[in-house]
A = this chain, B = another copy of it.
């Protein structure tokens, strides 16, 4: 707000809320107002939830996931097939794949992708721990679920090279036409990949 119409605690609340993805300055104001109006039902519980999460959040030493326990909830899930590792760039990719619902595999979160231009090398990513997991045995397949960008694919190639000595099947996500996608709006690379990987009806 250009002029002060509320106390510094509320102005600070708006400022910080505006830094959340999906909330602009306007919706941050609306959210802050909603919060102070629902002090007992929302403001206090959220304050406690933030403090609890902040106190417990940590990086899983096994897979690189971010959670409030180490090993993380996913690594502790005994119903998963630990023989299949899905390698992702970021925790958000893990969450996205879990929304599919049918995934029963374990994960490995790299924490980024190789990017020489940004100075991100192999030692900056959670790759050494991936090798340790595979050396320990039991992993039969590594699914590289990296972004279909130049950097994602560079990272995929690097990992494929690192794993060439192991008796592990390495796969990647299929390229193709998104479900519901219109050909008209697709880039040529996707169309070429979809043609190449065409399946019989």
Show the binding face of A for B, using Cβ within 8 Å. Answer: 1-10, 12-13, 16-17, 19-23, 27, 29-31, 33-37, 39, 42-47, 49-54, 56-57, 66-69, 72-74, 77, 91-92, 94-95, 98-99, 101
Contacts and interface: CB of A to CB of B under 8 A. Distances in A.
B67 A7 contact: yes
B73 A53 contact: no
A49 B16 contact: yes
Nearest to A15: B49
A13 B43 contact: no
A9 B98 contact: no
A51 B9 CA distance: 9
A192 B44 CA distance: 47
A84 to B, nearest CB: 16
Contact of A43 (B7, B34, B50): B50
A16 B46 contact: yes
Copies of this chain held together in the complex = 2
Contacts of A51: 47, 51
Contacts of A22: 22-23, 27, 30-31
A43 B54 contact: yes
Contacts of A101: 2-3
Q: Which of A9, A12, A68, A98 has the most CB of B within 10 A?
A: A9
A43 B98 CA distance: 24
8 contacts: A1-B98, A6-B68, A10-B53, A20-B42, A22-B22, A22-B30, A30-B92, A37-B66
